Structure 1
Amino acid sequence: MTRPDSALSQNLVPTALAGAIAMAVAMGFGRFSYTPILPGMMTGLGLTPADAGLIASANFVGYLAGAVLAGYGWAAGRERMVSLSALVATTVLLLAMGLTSSIALFSVIRFLAGVASAFTMIFTSAIVLSRGHATGNPHVQSVHFGGVGIGIAVSSLMVFLLPAEGFGLIANWQAAWFGGAVIALVGTVLVAVLLPSGAASGKSTEREKPLVWTRPLFVMTLTYGLFGFGYVITATFLVAMARQGASDHTVEFLAWLITGLSAAISVHLWRRAVPRLGIVGVYLAGLLVEAAGLILVVTLPSPYAPLIGGLLLGLTFIMVTAYGLQIGRALAPQSPRKALAFMTAAFGVGQIVGPLVAGWLAEGSGSFNAPTLVAAAVLLFCAILTGLEMRRIVAAAGA
């Protein structure tokens, strides 16, 4: 008899694939395709780092709003419908990004895209992860969150393959947004075919109990929010940083491609360390590795800096996101959806502040070194705080 953790059981394959595709569309394209497209927008439209940071922050404000709205229980029993609607919205909003050149409209569109990505992440995860948990199959989580990395890698390849001069009246950056919309549409159709209805427990229509804030849950939520600030600076500006020190677009393409490919396998790779370190220990290790990656981005010469930075970013940010949410759910067993929503909201706050601070510091200093070092310092603080509270968190979460 095959053990549950040896491979995906046959009935879970469509569910896991649906989760991966949904995450690729909503996160890989709906959120993170902004990163490889941004340099072209800055060149073609004359956007400053502060402008770019403002547009990015608008997306994260939307993500925060979506996470907060998701925590009120209105979607109980309707998770599948909300997830698919959010994916359709993501497709339309990707298309809309190529139809304007207004910073104000860019910000509005990215705000709405943030709401859509939060809804997809929270409600699709509620369906997919609950089914994996019910069967004791950790591969479901690996495949589900690995979709983000696949989306990032595909978006990088798409942008790289587009002609630099665009298509006549359509600029390169516009074509990239249109291409992303086409890919998102295909992904949405596939998710509609594959995604099952409701959580594995069959109790998705029941409202959860009020969330009880314990010290371990507060610490995890705080570090998770600060992690959002730290990682997003590199996730937003990595390709722009690569373009500053490169003679062609190959390095920026490779930096984001490496980020996506390493992110796609990161949860699976880090899972091998769980028996030795525990989930909380792996979460802590991820914070330290990502902080080290940020420091290397500043200290290594081009072209190695963005490539190493992309590798270490990809190897950690999906894993820290996934395991952070898993720990949060374990710390609130009576209200896991509410815990997931509040942690996602804290994450969103960090992401709002991160691009604004990074854009302001980069515009003032003329490089991204200062914001990158600030991000590294914040991640190190998160690691120290997690280490100090590790025993309490492990005891409370049973992890």
Structure 2
Amino acid sequence: MAAAMSFGRFAYTPLLPDLMKGLGLTPADAGLIASANYTGYLLGAIVAGYGWAAGRERAVFIFGLFATTILLAAVPFASDVFVMSAIRFASGVASAFVMIFVTTIILSHVDVAGRPELSAVHFSGVGLGIAVSAVLLMFLIAFEADWRTGWYATAVLALTGSVAAILLVRVDPVRAAGETREPPLKWDRRLAAISLAYGLFGAGYIVTATFLVAIVRGGGEQTMVEGWVWLVTGLAAAPSVFLWAPLSRRIGLVATFSAGCLVEAFGVGASVLIPAPVGPFVGGLLLGATFVAVTAYGLQVGRILAPQSPRRSLAIMTAAFGTGQIIGPVIAGYLADLSGNYTSGSLVAAGALVAAACLAVFAGSHKPGTQK
């Protein structure tokens, strides 16, 4: 998760301001490149939902990890928005493959072991990877490194994480006796509601997740505050699934999903409405404290609502999530070009998160181990 998600996808955030400066990109350009990555993520999620990978999940996620590493190393060779977008699109496909297939493997074994709390360990990789990328950013700032250096260094980190993951994950998913392919999803109101809410969540959180360090930079010079804000985000994200777990046991997964969206909406608004550096720190803290947990709990709700087709539910939820992620950066980047700042785009994102919280209520109340 650290290699594919934190380095493969979210390293774009701390490296974005220097990338924009190095290539002369506008906020709208940056939003388009980000959306290309999320479009690839969406396509990867849709493709992963079919049965072609049954019995080959581990091989596909290994392929995705090495593809992620190669594509990170390819970014410095891009010279314009089109080429950069193509590279990031391919990286999004690779990230989706890793996310869906390794999560399918891990959660199947967690379910068999009767240890749902261990899913927090799996999802903590995202926050730990973000924290590592923040430390890398601090080194890049301290040594005034060229923007290309950051991408090469991130590729090395991704390769290291990939090798570790391959050594640790040596099995395929647990299957029922005689199972080869999952049956089609059985849609109902609850699954539709949580899927739409998950898409709105994707559109809302991704604006801050994409532009947070650029918000810190503003129109000024590079400062170490950028690294500290991103480090706070990662450190808050790492234990977030575990820290939200008591609430999920008390009020259910769906209600916890809604609460997380509301907390995150406050953070997204705070990042631009409270003066820097306090606002971005609050935004980063609340983003980190919520987005991994909300992502994880949303996926778990999808699995509960489609117990016979867990991989397909992961794929459809990830597809909804990816659709939201495509839309969010484009709107925010365009609004930033018009206004000269990220305030209006962030407020639209906060509104999407509030809408997601409200819509999720229609999915009903679910607690671990039930299918109500």
User: TM tier, shorter chain?
Assistant: over 0.9
**1:298 CA drift (Å):** 2.6
The one-letter amino acid of 2:252's match is G
1:38 counterpart (16, 19, 42): 16
The match for 1:47 is: 25
Instruction: Label 1:85 to 1:360 Cα distance change in 2 as closer, same or farther (>3 A).
Output: same
**1:385 CA drift (Å):** 1.8
The match for 2:255 is: 281
2:94 counterpart (70, 95, 116): 116
> Take 1:162 and 1:360, find their aligned partners in 2: how far apart are those partners?
29
1:262 counterpart (229, 236, 244): 236
Superposition pairs of residues 321-332 of structure 1, within 5 angstroms: 321-332=295-306
**1:275 CA drift (Å):** 2.4
After superposition, what is the alpha-carbon deviation per residue over 1:17-44, rounded to whole angstroms, capped at 9, x for unaligned? xxxxxx0000000000000000001112
**1:227 CA drift (Å):** 0.5
Instruction: Label 1:176 to 1:397 Cα distance change in 2 as closer, same or farther (>3 A).
Output: same
Question: Superposition RMSD on alpha carbons, in Å?
Answer: 1.9
**1:252 CA drift (Å):** 1.2
The one-letter amino acid of 1:56's match is A
> Take 1:276 and 1:375, find their aligned partners in 2: how far apart are those partners?
28
Instruction: Label 1:164 to 1:105 Cα distance change in 2 as closer, same or farther (>3 A).
Output: farther
The match for 1:84 is: 62
Instruction: Label 1:195 to 1:394 Cα distance change in 2 as closer, same or farther (>3 A).
Output: closer
The match for 1:188 is: 162
The one-letter amino acid of 1:119's match is F
> Take 1:203 and 1:369, find their aligned partners in 2: how far apart are those partners?
54
**1:140 CA drift (Å):** 2.2
Instruction: Label 1:396 to 1:162 Cα distance change in 2 as closer, same or farther (>3 A).
Output: closer
**1:254 CA drift (Å):** 1.1
**1:138 CA drift (Å):** 2.6
The match for 1:220 is: 194
Q: Is the contact made by 2:253 and 2:368 (CA closer than 8 Å) also made in structure 1? A: no
The one-letter amino acid of 1:284's match is S
> Take 2:364 and 2:7, find their aligned partners in 1: how far apart are those partners?
38
**1:100 CA drift (Å):** 2.2
Q: Is the contact made by 2:255 and 2:365 (CA closer than 8 Å) also made in structure 1? A: no
Deviates more, 1:248-257 or 1:335-344: 248-257
Structure 2 residue 145 is matched with structure 1 residue 148: no
- Structure 1's unaligned 5+ residue stretches are 1-22
Q: Is the contact made by 2:141 and 2:224 (CA closer than 8 Å) also made in structure 1? A: no
Q: Is the contact made by 2:120 and 2:239 (CA closer than 8 Å) also made in structure 1? A: yes
Instruction: Label 1:394 to 1:163 Cα distance change in 2 as closer, same or farther (>3 A).
Output: closer
Instruction: Label 1:314 to 1:56 Cα distance change in 2 as closer, same or farther (>3 A).
Output: same
Structure 2 residue 314 is matched with structure 1 residue 340: yes
The one-letter amino acid of 2:249's match is P
> Take 2:114 and 2:338, find their aligned partners in 1: how far apart are those partners?
51
> Take 1:347 and 1:142, find their aligned partners in 2: how far apart are those partners?
20
Instruction: Label 1:300 to 1:204 Cα distance change in 2 as closer, same or farther (>3 A).
Output: farther
After superposition, what is the alpha-carbon deviation per residue over 1:355-376, rounded to whole angstroms, capped at 9, x for unaligned? 1000000100111000000011
> Take 2:69 and 2:221, find their aligned partners in 1: how far apart are those partners?
33
> Take 1:397 and 1:219, find their aligned partners in 2: how far apart are those partners?
18
The one-letter amino acid of 1:369's match is T
After superposition, what is the alpha-carbon deviation per residue over 1:242-284, rounded to whole angstroms, capped at 9, x for unaligned? 1117665222111111111111110010002122211111111
After superposition, what is the alpha-carbon deviation per residue over 1:323-359, rounded to whole angstroms, capped at 9, x for unaligned? 0000001001111111110110011000001110000
**1:195 CA drift (Å):** 0.6
